[in-house]
Amino acid sequence: MQLESGKSFEVRNLIGGTWETGNGHETEPVYDPATGETIAETPLSGRADVDLAVGAAEAAFPAWSKTPVMERARILFRFKALLEEHFEELRDLVTLENGKDKKDAGGEVRRGIEVVEFACGMPTLMMGETVRDVARGVDNISYRYPLGVVAAITPFNFPCMVPLWTLPVAIAAGNAYILKPSERTPLSAQRLGELLAEAGLPDGVFNIVHGGREAVDSILEHPGIEAVSFVGSQPVAEHVYRHGAAHGKRVQALAGAKNSMIVMPDAVLEKAVPNIISSAYGNAGERCLAGSVLVAVGDVADELVRRIGEAASAMKVGPGSEEGSELTPVIRDSHREKVRGYVDAGEEEGATVVLDGREPPLEEGFFMGPTLLDNVTDGMRVAREEIFGPVLSVVRVDSLDEAVEFTNGSSFGNACSIYTENGAAVRHWRENVQAGMLGVNIGVAAPMAFFPFNGIKNSFYGDLHATGKDGVRFFTENKVEAVRWLSEPGTVESIKRPMETGA
């Protein structure tokens, strides 16, 4: 797949190694957010398509799960090499369908590759445990097994990385996998499917069913699917968790966020401000780890707001594909309207609009300017709801305890950052703040492949998180064996005898 401007793409389901062609689906347009042009149409699959994918995955599972784990890992090593070879192409595809700049898109592909690298260690990761002599002459041994057919449902904002959070781990562990990518960004997932086939993955181990709500509900209700990993907005995550669990599935559902960045009076502002700008406005604020509320502690507030306002208004708004673009478009016009609505609400509720990004700065595409709201207070919608756009709200408080109290008043618990050089303040914050991904002088505490992505409260539904050892446990189940041998070891001759006689 080579990217050319103005080129349109065909989006197809991948079932048992075959890219399906038109079967009368309704479709949803895929836009290039930088131009607003339609670049593809996503087929909206239904129950019958999910049935086909489950059938293909069920057919592939027995042989794949019995393939030695080192052979499975070797395919992932080849996949990793292909991802490196096609790194720039994948990065540009992410920029094209999502709109983010090349640096962010490259970062996303890199983080995804790191999960593949992690999953290449599956022979070690799948090791069980043993305890000898749990009773006299009895040993206990646990073994890890794949679950069977598993599925993942992913969001638009990381079209390459989020599928890669789970697919390498699930597949290396011996499962057969069905991906339902976001209907707004289906292209990267499709390319991953092509590269997996090139790496030698047997047909049916990785399948793609495109679509929206109907495809999701069909996955959740399908008796052939054992586990579902979901990443997306909070209301859908809750629905997926409840509906999937009601149908007997293991579910992990990573949800929305409203992340605070706490700035203490001793923060090193020259370095903190660019970092805060990148957290709040990078990827147009469309990150579940975006800093959305800046909690200014004590007398740092005026200087902080001045510096943030200055730096944000100097950001270069432009397409992600253009060198130097800092503020890229949001995903769709309808989403831009929603973000604008939040700024309107903030203004009506009494926030001070320091920077107003509501007027589109460019004619084409789905661009917004950076918005900075000051004097935001707890009761306002902009203080508590996920906006998912380039809008930063400033809340002023007098102490670290008040900052933590404000943060803990959120129903979400994805991430929180603190800017300070004071270790005691950091410790106090870490011990008391209710968030699962913490950043110290880091505005986006990016997920690492070997740690769990650790949202809490309404940012996560389930028990085992995605990635890291949690991911391995999510996609496997244990058998625990208690073993004892009843006869005496005997002599070499007595051991040989039954084999020789075939007894």
Per CB under 6 A, the segment of 3-11, 155-163, 189-197, 363-371 that binds ligand NAD is: 155-163
Least distance (Å) from ligand NAD to the CB of residue 237? 7
Separation between Cα atoms, residue 76 and residue 72, nearest integer Å: 7
Among 7, 132, 213, 479, binds ligand NAD (CB under 6 A): 213
Number of C-alpha atoms within 13 angstroms, CB side, residue 120?
A: 14
Q: Using CB under 6 A, which of the segments 52-60, 61-69, 117-125, 251-259 binds ligand NAD?
A: 251-259
Q: Is 386 in the site for ligand NAD (CB under 6 A)?
A: yes
How crowded is residue 21: how many other Cβ atoms within 10 Å of its Cβ?
9
- Distance CA(295)–CA(94), nearest Å, equals 32
Compute the distance between CA of residue 480 and CA of residue 120 in angstroms, rounded to an integer.
Answer: 25
The backbone region for 444, taken as left when phi is positive above 0, alpha when psi lies in -120 to 50, beta otherwise, is beta
Shortest CB 289 distance to ligand NAD, Å: 8
Token pair belonging to 187? 């292209």
Shortest reach from residue 264's CB to ligand NAD, in Å: 26
Minimal distance, residue 14 CB to ligand NAD, in Å: 16
Question: Please, are residues 279 and 392 in contact by the beta-carbon 8 Å criterion?
Answer: no
Strand 437-440 with 206-208, pairing = unpaired
CB of 283 to ligand NAD, least distance (A): 11
The contact mask relative to ligand NAD for 229-248 (x = CB under 6 A, - = no) is --xxx--x--x---------
Q: Which stretch binds ligand NAD (CB under 6 A): 57-65, 122-130, 252-260, 473-481?
A: 252-260
To ligand NAD, the closest distance from the beta carbon of 45 in angstroms equals 11
Candidates 388, 406, 419, 474; binder of ligand NAD (CB under 6 A) is: 388
Q: Which is nearer to ligand NAD, 69 or 208 (CB)?
A: 208
Are 13 and 208 a contacting pair, CB within 8 Å? yes
Q: State yes or no: is 288 an active-site residue.
A: yes
User: Can residue 154 be called a binding residue for ligand NAD (CB under 6 A)?
Assistant: yes
Question: Is residue 208 classed as helix, strand or coil in its secondary structure?
Answer: strand
Residue with nearest beta carbon to ligand NAD: 232
Which single residue is written with the structure tokens 């593949």? 116
CA 364 to chain centre: 29
Q: Measured from the CB of residue 52, what is the shortest distance to ligand NAD in angstroms?
A: 19
Name which position in 105, 116, 254, 315 contacts ligand NAD (CB under 6 A). Answer: 254
Contact assessment for residue 451 and residue 296, using Cβ atoms and an 8 Å cutoff: no
3-state secondary structure of 133: strand
In 3D space, the residue among 381, 373, 384 whose CA is nearest the CA of residue 407 turns out to be: 384
Min. distance of Cβ 471 from ligand NAD in angstroms? 13
- Contact residue for ligand NAD among 106, 256, 439, 443 (CB under 6 A): 256
In the complex, least distance from residue 219 CB atom to ligand NAD, rounded to whole angstroms: 9
Mapping DSSP onto H, E and C, the string for 272-311 reads HHHHHHHHHHHHHHCCCCCEEEEEEEHHHHHHHHHHHHHH
Backbone conformation region of residue 138, classed left if phi is above 0, alpha if psi is from -120 to 50, else beta: beta
**From residue 19 to residue 58, what is the string marking binding to ligand NAD with x (rule CB under 6 A)?**
----------------------------------------
- Give yes or no for a contact between 419 and 442, defined as CB atoms under 8 angstroms apart: no
In the complex with ligand NAD, which residue's Cβ is closer, 9 or 64? Answer: 9
Figure out which of the listed residues 73, 96, 173, 257 binds ligand NAD, where binding follows CB under 6 A: 257
**Cβ(152)–Cβ(163) below 8 Å:** yes
Site residues (CB under 6 A) for ligand NAD, limited to 124-153: 153
> Position of tokens 């996303």?
108
Are 166 and 152 within 8 A, CB to CB?
yes
Q: Which is nearer to ligand NAD, 36 or 212 (CB)?
A: 212
SS3 call for 425: helix
CA pair distance 235, 365, nearest whole angstrom = 28
- Pick between residue 9 and residue 453 the one whose CB is nearest to ligand NAD: 453
Nearer to ligand NAD, 32 or 374 (CB): 32
Task: Select the residue interacting with ligand NAD from 455, 462, 468, 471 (CB under 6 A).
Answer: 455
Indicate whether 453 belongs to the interface with ligand NAD (CB under 6 A).
yes
Mention every residue, 6+ apart, whose C-beta is less than 8 A from residue 166.
152, 177, 229, 466, 471, 475
Q: Does 189 bind ligand NAD (CB under 6 A)?
A: no
Which residue of the set 120, 160, 288, 416 is catalytic? 288
Q: Binding string to ligand NAD for residues 262 to 301, with x set by CB under 6 A, is what? A: --------------------------x-------------
Q: How many residues of this chain interact with ligand NAD, rule: CB under 6 A?
A: 29
Q: Which helix (H) or strand (E) holds 385?
A: none
DSSP 230-266: EES-HHHHHHHHHHHHHTT-EEEEE----EEEEE-TT
Q: Which residues are catalytic?
A: 288
Residues at the interface with ligand NAD (CB under 6 A): 153-158, 162, 180, 182-183, 212-213, 216, 231-233, 236, 239, 254-257, 288, 386, 388, 414, 453, 455, 459
